[in-house]
A and B are shown apart, each in its own frame.
Chain A
Amino acid sequence: AQSVTQLGSHVSVSEGALVLLRCNYSSSVPPYLFWYVQYPNQGLQLLLKYTTGATLVKGINGFEAEFKKSETSFHLTKPSAHMSDAAEYFCAVSARLYGNKLVFGAGTILRVKS
């Protein structure tokens, strides 16, 4: 089975500060890992994904994440927060063995203070 744990249901940063959203996963097989963003009353938009290859992946809007197999982590970072980054962020895992179904974490709400 697979599972995702997102540490911190709410994270608050100042505009211009580093954004760090934590994600740890559990998977008995090599995982595919994803980060999504959701604005209020909207669907989810893919920020970035890790499948194979380079462990540092870059996504849209200046976000990036690093796959660390030894730590079973896939933390999301952005060097400088912008007010428009305020949203809810979801980490998700899937694998071919499990029918490529996405399993989501509970989400982290990011607040950006001016």
Chain B
Amino acid sequence: DGGITQSPKYLFRKEGQNVTLSCEQNLNHDAMYWYRQDPGQGLRLIYYSQIVNDFQKGDIAEGYSVSREKKESFPLTVTSAQKNPTAFYLCASRTGEAYGYTFGSGTRLTVV
């Protein structure tokens, strides 16, 4: 079945460490997105990519980095510069402008 796979489901990070969240899709979608979810704040866009080897900052890109070397993959790195990284991270993809996004099942990141 086609879909988006995010891994790991739970991730613990020590302060000062960089961590990378994986997002893989087999839907042949061109556009991919990373959102951060905090209670009561909805979803906020971190980065997005419309095509391979190109990506743009979203509303809260500081402290994060991405790459898009393959159409299927859009990993997110949470760097030590991100002061409050504890959150639920969701990856999504889309094909066609009038279509809704398909979401992965998320990664919950906790700083310990």
Partner-B contacts on A (CB < 8 A): 4, 9, 32, 34, 36, 41-46, 49, 51-52, 90, 94, 96, 99-107
Q: Which residue of A lies closest to B41 (CB)?
A: A106
**In the assembled complex, which residues on chain A have CB atoms less than 8 Å from the CB atom of B106?**
41-43
Determine whether B42 belongs to the interface, using a CB cutoff of 8 Å to chain A. Answer: yes
Instruction: Select A49's contact among B44, B48, B100, B104, beta carbons within 8 Å.
Output: B100
Is B42 a contact of A107 with CB atoms below 8 Å? yes
User: By the criterion CB–CB under 8 Å, are B97 and A46 in contact?
Assistant: no
Any chain A CB within 8 A of the CB of B61?
no
Report which of A4, A42, A51, A102 forms a contact with B98, defined as CB distance below 8 A: A51
Which of A4, A43, A100 sits near B105, CB closer than 8 Å? Answer: A43
- B97 and A44 contact, CB distance less than 8 A: no
Q: Does B45 contact A (CB under 8 A)?
A: yes
Known: A100-B97, A105-B42. 13 other contacts (CB 8 A): A34-B100, A41-B106, A43-B90, A43-B105, A44-B101, A49-B99, A52-B98, A94-B97, A96-B97, A99-B50, A99-B56, A102-B43, A106-B40
- Interface size band for B: 20 to 34
Using a CB–CB cutoff of 8 Å, the interface residues on chain B facing chain A are: 4, 6, 31, 33, 35, 40-45, 48, 50, 56, 58, 88, 90, 92, 94, 97-106, 108
